[in-house]
Amino acid sequence: MKITAIRFAKLTVPLVTPFKTALREVSFIEDLVVLIDTDKGQVGYGAAASTPIITGDTHQGMISIIKYFLAPKLIGLEIENLNHICHVIQSTVVANRSAKAALELAVYDLWGKLYQAPLYKLLGGGSSTLRTDITISVDGIDKMLADCDTAVKQGFDVLKVKIGNDLQQDIERVKAIYSGFSKHAKIRLDVNQGWNAKQTVFALQKLESENIELELVEQPVKSDDFKGLKYITERVNTPIMADESAFSPKQVIQLLEQNAVDIINIKVMKTGGLSRAIAIADITAQYQAQCMIGCMLEGSIAVAGAAHLASAKAQQITKIDLDGPALGQFDPVQGGVEFKGPSITLSSAPGLGITQIDGLQHIDNGVWPA
């Protein structure tokens, strides 16, 4: 099965409620969809969101990198040579992680179709059902409490609470949410780089002194502040997780060698594709560290790849944060992975299992070769 062409489209899904963090506010899931055609008539699907403030990637930038640098090297390659294709994708340009991730997802989808097996089984097998947390956007306390109440009534038993824009108010938010919902759900905090190391220690020691037990705190400090992460981890009992600090396998090794964090958050878009996400999961196994599998705000095409990985690497990936598709008003993707409330169900169809995508807006001149 040879790659013959690479096409692009856009896919937009409105959110049920705006997605708010310390870094940004978003009202739509807006994905760039990458479609890889083959000489056997099979199509591979990948996707990525525009996240300039996190990965530096935009839709136009991804199209340009793929069309002018990556696609010319991929046309004609055999899907069965998966490792070689991933090496070409990773080595042709530096950075551009979301573009690489979208391409790799489409390649892995075709790899599954080539061997007529769902991706998670080819990656090592696992359960076809998973369970995710749900994100509670940063907002006023009353709104956040209302959102938590809605989530718990929908069956979610893990709440990932976004904070990080005001230290004192953040502490009050956490206390109120913990008081109201700790009997019904585990509480995770995502600070999105909103505090510094001393603020984090102050806040967590204060919360711990009031017997507030959080499952974890995600990326409290700036992404390059490894010393700050270590400073925090040494002074609090609450597990600390790296997100934006852990883009690459090399960074993960540095964090774990320094005992700077307890948990690594793997995101396929952040790592640059499934091949590097798999590598990170394998690295954490050597250090006996836990992983979370996460997403940013992508739709079900991109998140499907992460779900398949979570199933195949379940011994390492013990926490799942793949609620992105469930935040949309609808899912335009048929087949594939089903995201319904806290439940994630993987298809038994080959690859990612996608059969049709409604509402694709194909991009003019978005084909290579033209």
- pLDDT (tens digit per residue) in 118-150: 999 999 999 999 999 999 999 999 999 999 999
58 is in an annotated binding site: no
pLDDT at position 55 is: 86
**Domain spanning 121-354: CATH 3.20.20.120:** yes
The structure tokens 């409604």 sit at: 358
- Given a cut of 80, whether residue 211 has pLDDT beyond it is yes
323 is in an annotated binding site: yes
pLDDT per position as a tens digit, 163-189: 999 999 999 999 999 999 999 999 999
Q: What is the CATH number assigned to the segment(s) 3-116+357-368?
A: 3.30.390.10
Q: Which entry of 10, 67, 100, 162 is annotated as an active-site residue?
A: 162
pLDDT at position 366 is: 60
Query: With left for phi above 0 and alpha for psi between -120 and 50, is residue 44 left, alpha or beta?
Result: beta
Q: Which entry of 10, 67, 121, 267 is annotated as an active-site residue?
A: 267
The model carries a pTM of: 0.95
The share of the chain scoring above pLDDT 70, in percent, equals 98
- Given a cut of 70, whether residue 51 has pLDDT beyond it is yes
321 is in an annotated binding site: yes
Which residues belong to CATH 3.30.390.10 in the chain?
Answer: 3-116+357-368
358 is in an annotated binding site: no
Would residue 267 show up in a list of annotated catalytic residues for this protein? yes
The structure tokens 């990198």 sit at: 65
2 is in an annotated binding site: no
- Given a cut of 70, whether residue 289 has pLDDT beyond it is yes
Q: Is the dihedral angle over the CA atoms 106, 110, 112, 116 positive or is it negative?
A: positive
Contact yes or no for 123/278 (Cβ under 8 A)? yes
pLDDT at position 347 is: 95
Would residue 113 show up in a list of annotated catalytic residues for this protein? no
Which residues belong to CATH 3.20.20.120 in the chain?
Answer: 121-354
